[in-house]
């Protein structure tokens, strides 16, 4: 377990950027945490570090947004699937959207906000990050297994 405290949105984005540099294709990252905990901010930093095309809007209404990188990352990531499961009513709804194909993409990385909503679909090797709101500007981020 590693725990980080960030003191601004920028620091949370920087955390996401460093995470991107260490992430290999085929990884599923689950971002747990309440409303405003910093899930999207972390993912925005992740996307920016990989040079994904802006804007990095959270796919709350469309559920999934796919980014095709113009150039694969140093670790070989070619596509990033950003999922916001907040509005999902049942895991089967996510299955119908094609979740298993995104997870099976050998050059892809899947980033999930509100993973609790689709828990039964998450692969066993999913890496979980837990974000907690501490104060207006401070957030705690715990990374499982690192």
Of residues 30-69, those binding ligand ATP (CB under 6 A): 33, 35-41, 58
User: What single-letter DSSP state applies at residue 22?
Assistant: H
Rounded CA-CA distance 111/142 in Å is 16
Q: Degrees (nearest 5) of the Cα angle 53, 105, 39? A: 55
**Of the candidate residues 9, 58, 128, 142, the single one contacting Mg ion (CB under 5 A):** 58
CB of 133 to Mg ion, least distance (A): 12
Nearest CB to ligand ATP, comparing residues 100 and 144: 144
For residue 27, state whether it binds ligand ATP (rule: CB under 6 A).
no
| Span near Mg ion by CB under 5 A; candidates 4-12, 23-31, 37-45, 71-79 | 37-45
> Counting contacts by CB under 5 A, is residue 9 touching Mg ion?
no
Q: Does 79 bind ligand ATP (CB under 6 A)?
A: no
- Compute the Cα dihedral for 139, 140, 143, 146 and give only its sign: positive
- Residue 38, contacted partner among ligand ATP, Mg ion, none, CB below 5-8 A by kind: ligand ATP
Q: Would you call 53 exposed, middle or buried from its count of C-beta atoms within 10 A (0-12, 13-18, 19+)?
A: exposed
Residue 102 is given by DSSP the state H
CA-based nearest residue to 7, from 112, 143, 140: 140
Residues in touch with ligand ATP (CB under 6 A): 6-9, 11-12, 33, 35-41, 58, 113, 137-139
């Amino acid at each position: 377990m590693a725990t980080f405290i960030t003191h601004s949105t920028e620091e949370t984005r920087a955390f996401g950027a460093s995470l991107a540099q260490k992430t290999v294709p085929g990884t599923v990252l689950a971002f747990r945490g309440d409303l405003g905990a910093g899930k999207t901010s972390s993912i925005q930093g992740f996307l920016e570090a990989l040079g994904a095309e802006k804007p990095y809007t959270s796919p709350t209404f469309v559920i999934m947004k796919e980014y095709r990188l113009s150039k694969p990352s140093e670790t070989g990531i070619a596509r990033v699937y950003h999922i916001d499961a907040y509005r999902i009513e049942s895991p089967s709804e996510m299955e119908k959207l094609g979740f298993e194909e995104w997870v099976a993409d050998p050059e892809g990385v899947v980033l999930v906000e509100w993973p609790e909503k689709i828990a039964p679909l998450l692969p066993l090797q999913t890496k979980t990050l837990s974000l907690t709101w501490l104060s207006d500007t401070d957030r705690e981020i715990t990374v499982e297994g690192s």
